[in-house]
C-alpha cells in the first residue's frame, strides 16, 4: 500500500492506493498544528485500518509538508549565525536596495533571520574564478568556534563570495564546525544554491540553516512513526519542484519544501488530466482565501527560481504556481472611490462566510453564490454544514443597498469581479509567458474552483473544463503519483566561443560528479533515475538567462556551435529577436535527476447512477437571468453519457456550475468534463 499525506491548515488529507488493483482509499482528519506529525501518524494508522492493510504491506509514505513554511511565517526557526566574507555581513540587510512596496513606505524589509550581532566575518576572499585571493587565517577559524558557543546559536550558515566557483573556503569552515561542535547544524551556500548573485544565495542559505533543526526533529518523529509500522517502508517528502526527495535529503534541504503541498496538487492534476487525455491545461484551485493557478504543458508544469517566503528570496526550483487573494471567503466591500472590490481580506474558516451561520457578517463570494442559487441553500459538505441562507441574503442585500443595485446585480457583481481577478491571474501565467489560454483546458480544484471554472473558462475562450473526482484531495492524490527528483547546478562563466567545448564539458563533469555522489548516498542504482542536463545561457552583458538542453553526449566544437545556435533560436522564440553576432555566455549547468514514473492500474468505477436530477433550483445566469436548473448528485451521473447545461453537479466537497450552452460528461476515469458547444 502506498500512502499520500498532505497537511493543510485545517485538515490533514490521507489517500492510500493499492498498486495491485489501483484501488484508492480516502480519509480526512483535523490537523494538529502544534505538532503536525500527530495527525499525520494518526491518519496513517486510520487509513491502514480502513483499508484492511497489514503493517508489512505498507510500502511507503509520500508527504506534503508545511512545517518549513509555517516555521518561517511564524518565526519559529532556529537562532542562526551567518559566517561570511569580511566586509559583507550586511548583504542580508541591504538586499537589492528596493522597497518592499513601491508606495507603502511603512513596509519594512524582510527580517533576514540571522541577526546582525549573530554574523561573523572571516578575512578570506576568492575571485570570480574561485581562485584564492586571501585564505581564511587559522586564528580566525580558531576564534569562530568559541564565538558560536557563546552566541547561543543552534545553526550556522557559511556563505562566502564566489563560493559557487569554489567551495574550498566554505568547506574548510563547515568541516571545522562539524568536527568541533557536533550539536550545531551547519550548511554552506554552495550546498544550498550553487549559483552566483550573493544576496539571493546568502539569504537562501540562512533560511535553510535556520530550518535544519526544525525539519530534523519533525522528520525524526514522522520517520520513527512510519518505521514503527514497517521498518522497510520509505518516507519521502514532496519538494517545491513537484518531485519527492528522501527524508534524509529533506533534512539537508528543508528550503526545498516551501511549496510542497501546492506542487503535489499540480502533480495530482497531471495524473487526473492524463486520465482525461489532456496534456495541456491550467489548474484553478480555489480555497477559502485565495486561488492558485498553474500552467501545465505536455504534462509538465513550468518551474521558476525566484520564489519568496515572508519576503525572503529562496532560490530553489519551484512549480510556477501563481496565487491571487480571491477565494470563497473573500470579502466584498466598497472603497472610498465608491467602487466594488473583492478581497484580499477573507472571512477565513471562522467566522467564515455569512451563509456558514457562524457569525460572519461580511458579504463574501460564497454568499453571492448562494444568492444566485449556485450553491445548495440547505446544506454544504455533504450535509455536515447547515446553510444560513437568510444570512447570505441579508449581507448581499445590504451590499446591494449601498451600491444602489438589485440584490441579484450586486451578487453577480461580486462574482464578476472575483472571476475577473482569477482571469487576470491566469493571464499572468499564460499570456504573459507567451501561451494562448485557448490552447489549454481548465482543471478546477479546491472547494471553490468548480463553482467559478465555467465562467472563467468562457471569459478566457477556454473550451474544456475538467473536474476531478475529488477536487479537495488533489494534493494528497498527487503524492501517490509523484516521482523522486533531485536538482544540481553549478555556476561558471564560460564564453561560448571557439574552443569552449572543453570548459563546458568540464563544468558538466563537475555537476555529474555531484550527482554520482548523491546517487550513492541515496543507495540507488544508476537505472533508477533519468538525467537531464540544461545550460543557462545569455548574451554577454545581459543579466538574465535562458535554458537550453545540453544533453549528456560528448561535447566537441560542433556541439558547442550547435548550443550557441540553439540559444539564438531560443532567444528569438522567447523574445522576438536574436543578436547572432553577439557574444554568448554559459552561466550555469543544471542537472535534474528524476525517478521512474509509477504506473498503476486504473480504478474500476463501473458503478453508475440513474442519471436523474435530485432537485430543480432557480439559478441566475448572466444572459438568461433566472433559469430553473436541474441539480445532479455526482454519484448519480452515468459515465460516458453527455448531458446539456445549465446544470449544477453537487458532491461532498464542491459544486460544479455548468453554464447554458455547455455539455457535461462523467468520464469512466471519474473525471467530470464540461465542454462548450461548438
- Which residues ranging from 335 to 394 are in contact with another protein (CB under 8 A)? 335-341, 345
If one asks whether residue 582 binds another protein (CB under 8 A), the answer comes out as yes
**Which of 421, 482, 651, 656 contacts another protein by CB under 8 A?**
421
The number of C-alpha atoms within 13 Å of 405 and in the hemisphere containing its C-beta is 16
For 392-410, b where at least 16 C-beta lie within 10 A, e where not — what string?
bbbbbebbbeebeeebbeb
d(CA 67, CA 9): 11
> Quick one: cell of 353?
462566510
With respect to another protein, which residue has the nearer C-beta, 111 or 221? 111
CB of 384 to another protein, least distance (A): 33
Measured from the CB atom, the residue of 53 and 421 that comes closer to another protein is 421
Torsion angles phi and psi, residue 111, rounded to 5: -65, 120
Stretch binding another protein (CB under 8 A), from 62-70, 126-134, 171-179, 596-604 = 126-134
Q: Which is nearer to another protein, 123 or 557 (CB)?
A: 123
User: Of 252, 200, 187, 209, which Cα lies nearest the Cα of 113?
Assistant: 209
Near another protein in 305-334, by CB under 8 A: 333-334
Under the binding rule (CB under 8 A), the answer on residue 572 touching another protein is no
- In what helix (H) or strand (E) does residue 17 lie, and over which residues does it extend? strand 11-18
Interacting positions 32-91 with another protein (CB under 8 A): 75, 79, 87-91
Q: Which residues contact 353 (CB under 8 A, 6 or more apart)?
A: 328, 329, 347, 360, 364, 365, 366, 367, 392
Helices and strands, counts by H and E, the chain: 16, 37
Residue 420 C-beta: closest distance to another protein, Å = 5
Which of 34, 101, 498, 527 touches another protein (CB under 8 A)?
101
* Residue whose grid cell is 445532479: 632
Of 25 and 199, nearer to another protein (C-beta) is 199
**For residue 155, which of 216, 94, 220 has the smallest C-alpha distance?**
216
- Report the alpha-carbon distance of residue 170 to residue 161 in Å, rounded: 10
Work out how close the CB of 238 gets to another protein at its nearest, in angstroms, rounded to a whole number.
Answer: 29
In the range 540-569, which residues lie near another protein by CB under 8 A?
541-544
Q: How far is the CB of 632 from another protein (least distance, A)?
A: 31
Cell of 460: 478566457
Q: Which stretch binds another protein (CB under 8 A): 10-18, 142-150, 190-198, 258-266?
A: 190-198
Among 132, 143, 220, 431, which residue interacts with another protein (rule: CB under 8 A)? 431
Region near another protein per CB under 8 A, out of 362-370, 442-450, 528-536, 537-545: 537-545
- For 67-106, letters b (16+ CB in 10 Å) and e give bbbebbeeeebbebbbbbbbebbebbeebeeeeeeeeeee
User: How far is the C-alpha of 78 from the C-alpha of 151, rounded, in Å?
Assistant: 13
Q: Which is nearer to another protein, 341 or 524 (CB)?
A: 341
Question: Which residues, 475 to 494, sit near another protein by CB under 8 A?
Answer: 493
- Please state the closest distance from residue 418 (CB atom) to another protein, in A: 11
Residue of 332, 290, 322, 319 lying closest to 448 (CA atoms): 290
Q: At what angle do helices 36-50 and 198-229 cross, to 10 degrees?
A: 40
Candidates 575, 635, 641, 644; binder of another protein (CB under 8 A) is 575
Under rule CB under 8 A, residue 439 binds another protein: no
The DSSP H or E segment spanning 121 is strand 119-122
Burial readout 536-568 (b: 16 or more C-beta within 10 A, e: otherwise): bbbbeeeeebbebebeeeebeeebbeebbebbb
Binding test (CB under 8 A) with another protein, winner from 20, 128, 438, 596: 128
What is the β-pairing status of strands 464-467 and 485-495?
unpaired
**In 10 A of CB 303, how many CB atoms?**
18
User: Does residue 105 touch another protein according to CB under 8 A?
Assistant: yes
Q: Which of residues 379 and 406 has its CB atom nearest to another protein in the complex?
A: 406
Query: Which of 416, 524, 565, 617 lies at the binding interface for another protein (CB under 8 A)?
Result: 416
Strand order in the sheet with 647-651: 615-621, 625-633, 647-651, 654-658
**Binder among 10, 20, 99, 438 for another protein (CB under 8 A):** 99
For another protein, the binding residues in 225-284 under the rule CB under 8 A are: none
379-384 contacts at long range (C-beta below 8 A, 24 or more positions apart): 381/652, 381/653, 382/651, 382/652, 382/653
Stretch that binds another protein, among 110-118, 226-234, 272-280, 668-676 (CB under 8 A): 110-118
Q: Does 678 bind another protein (CB under 8 A)?
A: no
Helix axes 138-151, 168-180, angle to 10 degrees: 50
Among 432, 498, 527, 610, binds another protein (CB under 8 A): 432
Of 424, 505, 636, 669, the one binding another protein (CB under 8 A) is 424
Interaction of residue 302 with another protein, rule CB under 8 A:
no
Residue 524 as a binder of another protein (CB under 8 A): the answer is no
Sole window of 23-31, 278-286, 310-318, 424-432 interacting with another protein (rule: CB under 8 A)? 424-432
Q: Is 116 in the site for another protein (CB under 8 A)?
A: yes
One of 52, 404, 499, 526 touching another protein (CB under 8 A) = 404
Which stretch, 109-117, 220-228, 466-474, 646-654, contacts another protein (CB under 8 A)? 109-117
Phi and psi angles of residue 275, each rounded to the nearest 5 degrees, phi first: -65, -30
d(CA 329, CA 320) in angstroms, rounded, equals 24
Question: Under the phi-then-psi rule, with left for phi > 0, alpha for psi from -120 to 50, and beta for the rest, what region is 109?
Answer: beta
**Measured from the CB atom, is 405 or 566 closer to another protein?**
405
CB 218 → another protein: shortest distance, Å?
A: 19
CA 394 distance to own-chain centroid? 37
Instruction: Output 135 or 403, the one with its CB closest to another protein.
Output: 403
Which part of the chain contacts another protein (CB under 8 A), choosing from 55-63, 94-102, 299-307, 558-566? Answer: 94-102
The answer to whether 194 touches 491, Cβ cutoff 8 Å, is yes
DSSP codes joined into one string, 229-283: H-TT-EEEEE-TTS-EEEHHHHHH-GGGGTTHHHHHHHHHHHHHHHHTT--SEEE
| Residue 162 in contact with another protein, rule: CB under 8 A | yes
Stretch that binds another protein, among 31-39, 96-104, 547-555, 638-646 (CB under 8 A): 96-104
Q: How many residues bind another protein (CB under 8 A)?
A: 74
Choice between 454 and 474, CB closer to another protein: 454
Amino acid at each position: 500500500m502506498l500512502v499520500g499525506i498532505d497537511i493543510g491548515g485545517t485538515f490533514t488529507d490521507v489517500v492510500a492506493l493499492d498498486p495491485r488493483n489501483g484501488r484508492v482509499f480516502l480519509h480526512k482528519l483535523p490537523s494538529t498544528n502544534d505538532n503536525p506529525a500527530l495527525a499525520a501518524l494518526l491518519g496513517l494508522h486510520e487509513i491502514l485500518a480502513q483499508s484492511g492493510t497489514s503493517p508489512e504491506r505498507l510500502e511507503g509514505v509520500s508527504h506534503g509538508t508545511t512545517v518549513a513554511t509555517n516555521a518561517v511565517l511564524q518565526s519559529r526557526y532556529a537562532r542562526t549565525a551567518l559566517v561570511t566574507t569580511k566586509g559583507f555581513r550586511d548583504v542580508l540587510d541591504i538586499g537589492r536596495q528596493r522597497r518592499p512596496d513601491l508606495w507603502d513606505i511603512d513596509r519594512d524589509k524582510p527580517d533576514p533571520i540571522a541577526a546582525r550581532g549573530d554574523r561573523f566575518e572571516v578575512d578570506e576572499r576568492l575571485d570570480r574564478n574561485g581562485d584564492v585571493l586571501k585564505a581564511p587565517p587559522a586564528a580566525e577559524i580558531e576564534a569562530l568556534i568559541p564565538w558560536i558557543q557563546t552566541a547561543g546559536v543552534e545553526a550556522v550558515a557559511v556563505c562566502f563570495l564566489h563560493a559557487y566557483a569554489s567551495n574550498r573556503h566554505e568547506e574548510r569552515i563547515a568541516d571545522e564546525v562539524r568536527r568541533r561542535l557536533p550539536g550545531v547544524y551547519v550548511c554552506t551556500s554552495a550546498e544550498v544554491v550553487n549559483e552566483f548573485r550573493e544576496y539571493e544565495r546568502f539569504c537562501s542559505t540562512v533560511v535553510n540553516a535556520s530550518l535544519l533543526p526544525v525539519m530534523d526533529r519533525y522528520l525524526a518523529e514522522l520517520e520513527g512513526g512510519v518505521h514503527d509500522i514497517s521498518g522497510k517502508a520509505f518516507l519521502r517528502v514532496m519538494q517545491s519542484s513537484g518531485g519527492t526527495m528522501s527524508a534524509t535529503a529533506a533534512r539537508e534541504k528543508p528550503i526545498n519544501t516551501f511549496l510542497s503541498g501546492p506542487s503535489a496538487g499540480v502533480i495530482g492534476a497531471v495524473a487526473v488530466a492524463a486520465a482525461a487525455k489532456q496534456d495541456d491545461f491550467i489548474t484553478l484551485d480555489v480555497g477559502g482565501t485565495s486561488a492558485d493557478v498553474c500552467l501545465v504543458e505536455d504534462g509538465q508544469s513550468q518551474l521558476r527560481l525566484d520564489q519568496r517566503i515572508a519576503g525572503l528570496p529562496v532560490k530553489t526550483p519551484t512549480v510556477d504556481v501563481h496565487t491571487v487573494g480571491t477565494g470563497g471567503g473573500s470579502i466584498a466591500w466598497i472603497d472610498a472611490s465608491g467602487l466594488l472590490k473583492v478581497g484580499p481580506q477573507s472571512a477565513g474558516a471562522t467566522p467564515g462566510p455569512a451563509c456558514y451561520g457562524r457569525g460572519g457578517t461580511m458579504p463574501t463570494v460564497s454568499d453571492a453564490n448562494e444568492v444566485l442559487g449556485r450553491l445548495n441553500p440547505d446544506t454544504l459538505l455533504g450535509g455536515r454544514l447547515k446553510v444560513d441562507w437568510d444570512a447570505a441574503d441579508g449581507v448581499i442585500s445590504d451590499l446591494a443597498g449601498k451600491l444602489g443595485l438589485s440584490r441579484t446585480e450586486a451578487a453577480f457583481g461580486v462574482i464578476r469581479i472575483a472571476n475577473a481577478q482569477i482571469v487576470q491571474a491566469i493571464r499572468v501565467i499564460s499570456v504573459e509567458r507567451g501561451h494562448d489560454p485557448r490552447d489549454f483546458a481548465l482543471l478546477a480544484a479546491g472547494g471553490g474552483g468548480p463553482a467559478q471554472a465555467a465562467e472563467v473558462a468562457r471569459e478566457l475562450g477556454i473550451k474544456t473544463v475538467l473536474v476531478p473526482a475529488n477536487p479537495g484531495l488533489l494534493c494528497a492524490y498527487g503524492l501517490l503519483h509523484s516521482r523522486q527528483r533531485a536538482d544540481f547546478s553549478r555556476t561558471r562563466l564560460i564564453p561560448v566561443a571557439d574552443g569552449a567545448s572543453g570548459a563546458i564539458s568540464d563544468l558538466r563533469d563537475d555537476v555529474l560528479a555531484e550527482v554520482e555522489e548523491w546517487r550513492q548516498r541515496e543507495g540507488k542504482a544508476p537505472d533508477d533515475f533519468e538525467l537531464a542536463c540544461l545550460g543557462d545561457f545569455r548574451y554577454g552583458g545581459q543579466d538574465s538567462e535562458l535554458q537550453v538542453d545540453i544533453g549528456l553526449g560528448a561535447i566537441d566544437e560542433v556541439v558547442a556551435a550547435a548550443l550557441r545556435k540553439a540559444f539564438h533560436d531560443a532567444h528569438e522564440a522567447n523574445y522576438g529577436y536574436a543578436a547572432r553576432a553577439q557574444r554568448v555566455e554559459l552561466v550555469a549547468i543544471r542537472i535534474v535527476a528524476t525517478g521512474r514514473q509509477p504506473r498503476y492500474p486504473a480504478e474500476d468505477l463501473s458503478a453508475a447512477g440513474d442519471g436523474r436530477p435530485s432537485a430543480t433550483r432557480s439559478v441566475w445566469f448572466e444572459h438568461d437571468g433566472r433559469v430553473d436548473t436541474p441539480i445532479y448528485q455526482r454519484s448519480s451521473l452515468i459515465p460516458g453519457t453527455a448531458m446539456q447545461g445549465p446544470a449544477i453537479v453537487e458532491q461532498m466537497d464542491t459544486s460544479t456550475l455548468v453554464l447554458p450552452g455547455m455539455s457535461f460528461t462523467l468520464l469512466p476515469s471519474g473525471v467530470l468534463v464540461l465542454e462548450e458547444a461548438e
